[in-house]
Structure 1
Amino acid sequence: MPSTLYDFATWEPLLRVLRADKAKSLAAPGGYVTGRVGLHGWSLPLTRRTPPPGQAAQMEDSQNEYDAVARIHGALIEAGVDDIAFTAEIAPSGRAVLRLLGPSPAVEPGVGTVHPAALILVEGAVAEPWRRAPEPAPDAAPAPTVDPALLERTLRERIPDAVGATEEELAATEARLGVVLPDELKALYRVTRARWEDWDGDYAVADRVFEAVGCELLPLEGLYLAEPETRPAMWSFAAMDAVVTLPDAEVQGLVGSPGWIVFGDNGGGDRIAVDLTPGPRGHLGQIILIGHEEHTGADLVADSLTDMVLNGPDENPRRHRRDDEPPLVAHVNHRAITAVEAAAHPGLEVLSLGVWDGEPFGLAPVIGLPRLRTLSAYPGTLADPLEISRLTGLEFLELPPEEWRVLLDAGAVPRTLLAAAVVVHGNPHPLPIVDLANEILALWDRPLIVPTLLEDDLGPLS
């Protein structure tokens, strides 16, 4: 049965809302509107009414919009689609031409824009930091503060009525995770398995447990390994990051690790984990905080779980950072590094050419660098786009349409790419951008962004 997502009737209420708000611009020669509707949000070019001073915006002010979007949400769920972009032309007579753009499993949707974000050229490909495994730490040892017996005794004193996990439940968790739980973590869950049903839904009881431990504790069955896939990021962000672990670091600067066992939360969305893959100066079983606003690295909050329970997590988490090393991610623009030559060094992984008022940059200084995997260029910053073909290790390339056109026409798009992006500035019509994206996707025989044309008559504007 065809999905109602591709029925004009599904979109008609939204088109009416857009026409009522944008009648003047739609009536102009070549007038059109664009937007994106997803299950978790939408972006529409609607004028928002400013409420009177001291008064909040009322939902009824935008009820027609919410109702129209809800209808599309239902169709998205029915079609098994998370997100879809569109462009629409609506004549003063009411004749409407709607184009639904995709979706394609090879395309990440843009954020707040109808233009496609990254094009995934190799199925399942992830950026290099997400492929980085932890370095072995054979000499790492537990901190002197590790004391499972003291930890268990302290927790039983603090929460004497807690329901603890059985040995069978601990063994089942180890089997599920595929790791042996550290003795401290076992001691913690022998005291409390942190299940809501054990607390009878009483928030006060839960708070006492959290206060006793020093964090919001996950139930035993909620423990998980913070491997890279648990910290997802769009390609356009992920490819611009790099893993850095300094020689004196206590925590490895990874996206994730099979040795990071998450057992708690700080109440603000940051995860608390036992670290079994510490950095060069770290301790086996140290406690780290994995920030939800960063893609790589973690902060040390305690030398051991015993330390955290007895003394509380460090209020100023420790992460080693140094600014005297050549950056692995170099931003060349009028406010940062001002020459490609100054950015070039053997360890360079990411080169971003940003806003620049001077002569365009040549890429000769970075040709042959062994680790350069990402190039991003702002419009007009490249003296010769064809030099890109000499960057033999590129995995991600982000260029404006004009530079992509040069590479495509010359058959010079690097075949080492795993993903790519078309940088769009301003508000160009999405269809030429979609066509360009499809040319790039076609080189890798990837699923294209297929526009679906829907036409009907809305009648005259009342």
Structure 2
Amino acid sequence: MPPAARTAVEGIQRALAGGGVGEVAFRAEVRPDGSTVLGLVWPSPAVEPAMGYPDLGVLLLNDGALTEPWLRRPDPVPGAVPAPSADPELLERTLRERLPGAVGATEEEIAAAEARLGVTLSDELKTLYRVVRVDWHDDFEAVIDAGRAVGCELSGLDGLFGIDGTVRHPGWDIGARQSLGTGPDDAVQGLAGSPGWIAIGSNGGDTYAVDLTPGPAGHLGQVILIDHEQSLGAELVADSLTDFVLGRRREESPGLRRDEAPAVARVGTGFLRTVEAAAHPALEVLTIDPADGPPLTLAPLTALPRLRTLTAAPGTLADPREVAALTALEFLELGTREWRTLLDAGAVPRTLKAAAITVRDQDHLPVVALANEILTLRNRPRIDQTLLEGDLGPAR
């Protein structure tokens, strides 16, 4: 960056910082005669910044609303049983051999932890804490020894918690386009979190949990890993806590069942050719890209019970008003003309939690006005914009 440009940018950064503004979107038009128009779009509590939306971001139509997968609860597992390798007696002997001086928790303390968590701990997990109390505020060396004996940075009994899927939400820009399911051969349910995923420790970044709500092919009390770089799902690490402590861990685990047909589909050049081909009762996320041929009808989608995300490129819909018939829609991204049609027809779905406007080489000021119309429908805070006009003089 040339020194003059760097100086100008630093001046703008100082001015924004002085006003308590972390970021601002802008568009400048400088004509050959020097007349200049600068449009500024200020941050809004109703807009979530997102990559791919250079001027606006995602419009949040409800406070605190999250995408459905991050609210999903585990399916009941009444028939789930511990793995054949689960052996509380072997687990206790192993831990006492490794930690001969350890002092464990009392039965009353274990019962109090179960009451706080709202779950019944597995026999193996109770055995672990009967041997090892773990107090990070008391004896750090004992904590280190316990971690080495178990195989992770072990949490104390009072530090156990269920994984809350809502805190893993990555934002609507990413979350609305993702899907994760559970198949009949899956050991771990496809979730963002579960009250039955009891976090017991970490590897310094990722979280180990004992799984009390396993998938159809899993076992009660299996050990799973929640990757801090992932926002959905967990990986099976060991069939039992006994296996985990004895080092009998799985080297490979089946990949997460995410972003797969029929739950996620794409129509357009290089993908499916028709909306009919994407229509399936399990469809959750549909993207319609530009393609050769006439605009498409959404009629085949109207009876789908799980379709929550629709992204349609400008000019790809034969009648944008058909969006109103999609009764489960949470997130909608359309071009400016399509949004204009919906607004004029009073056809913006009431089920929407978030929305986005596709911007392609457009002046952002009219787009902001359109966004404010959408926000006004839900009594959401409007986006503030400032228009500055001046004369920089003729180019030299």
Are residues 1:404 and 2:339 paired? yes
Are residues 1:21 and 2:5 paired? yes
2:134 maps to what in 1? 193
What amino acid maps onto 2:170 in structure 1?
A: A
Gap change, CA 1:101 and 1:71, over 3 Å in 2 = closer
Contact 2:296–2:316, Cα closer than 8 Å, also in 1: yes
2:217 maps to what in 1? 281
What amino acid maps onto 2:245 in structure 1?
A: V
SS in 2 for 1:259: strand
Alignment of 1:175-254 (within 5 A): 175-189=115-129, 190-191=131-132, 193=134, 195=136, 198-199=139-140, 206=144, 209-254=146-191
The alpha-carbon deviation at position 343 of structure 1 amounts to 0.8
Once structures 1 and 2 are overlaid, which stretch shifts more, 256-265 or 430-439?
Answer: 430-439
Give the TM-score normalised by the residue count of structure 1.
0.72
2:394 maps to what in 1? none
Number of residue equivalences: 389
1:156 maps to what in 2? 96
SS in 1 for 2:26: strand
Contact 1:85–1:114, Cα closer than 8 Å, also in 2: no
Are residues 1:446 and 2:358 paired? no
Give the TM-score normalised by the residue count of structure 2.
0.83
Are residues 1:422 and 2:362 paired? no
Cα distance per residue 1:39-82 (max 9 Å; x no partner): xxxxxxx6xxxxxxxxxxxxxxxxx58xx758856864xxxx8x
Equivalent of 1:437 in 355, 366, 371 = 371
What amino acid maps onto 1:230 in structure 2?
A: V
What amino acid maps onto 1:276 in structure 2?
A: L
Alignment of 1:26-425 (within 5 A): 76=20, 83-87=22-26, 99=40, 101-104=42-45, 106-111=46-51, 114-160=54-100, 164-165=104-105, 170-189=110-129, 190-191=131-132, 193=134, 195=136, 198-199=139-140, 206=144, 209-267=146-204, 269-319=205-255, 321=257, 326-425=261-360
Gap change, CA 1:340 and 1:287, over 3 Å in 2 = same
SS in 2 for 1:156: helix
Contact 1:249–1:279, Cα closer than 8 Å, also in 2: yes
What amino acid maps onto 1:398 in structure 2?
A: E
What amino acid maps onto 1:249 in structure 2?
A: D
1:4 maps to what in 2? none
Q: Distance in 1 between matches of 2:3 and 2:339?
A: 34
The alpha-carbon deviation at position 257 of structure 1 amounts to 1.0
Gap change, CA 1:444 and 1:165, over 3 Å in 2 = same
Q: Distance in 2 between matches of 1:160 and 1:142?
A: 27
Consecutive unaligned residues in structure 1, runs of 5 or more: 1-16, 27-45, 47-63, 457-462
Contact 1:214–1:313, Cα closer than 8 Å, also in 2: no
Gap change, CA 1:345 and 1:199, over 3 Å in 2 = same
Contact 1:301–1:313, Cα closer than 8 Å, also in 2: yes
**Identity, % of aligned pairs?**
53
Cα distance per residue 1:112-133 (max 9 Å; x no partner): 8653322222333222212221
Gap change, CA 1:107 and 1:19, over 3 Å in 2 = farther
Contact 2:196–2:211, Cα closer than 8 Å, also in 1: yes
Contact 2:27–2:364, Cα closer than 8 Å, also in 1: no
What amino acid maps onto 1:317 in structure 2?
A: S
Q: Distance in 2 between matches of 1:157 and 1:333?
A: 62
Gap change, CA 1:173 and 1:368, over 3 Å in 2 = same
The alpha-carbon deviation at position 442 of structure 1 amounts to 0.5
Gap change, CA 1:239 and 1:98, over 3 Å in 2 = closer
The alpha-carbon deviation at position 372 of structure 1 amounts to 1.9
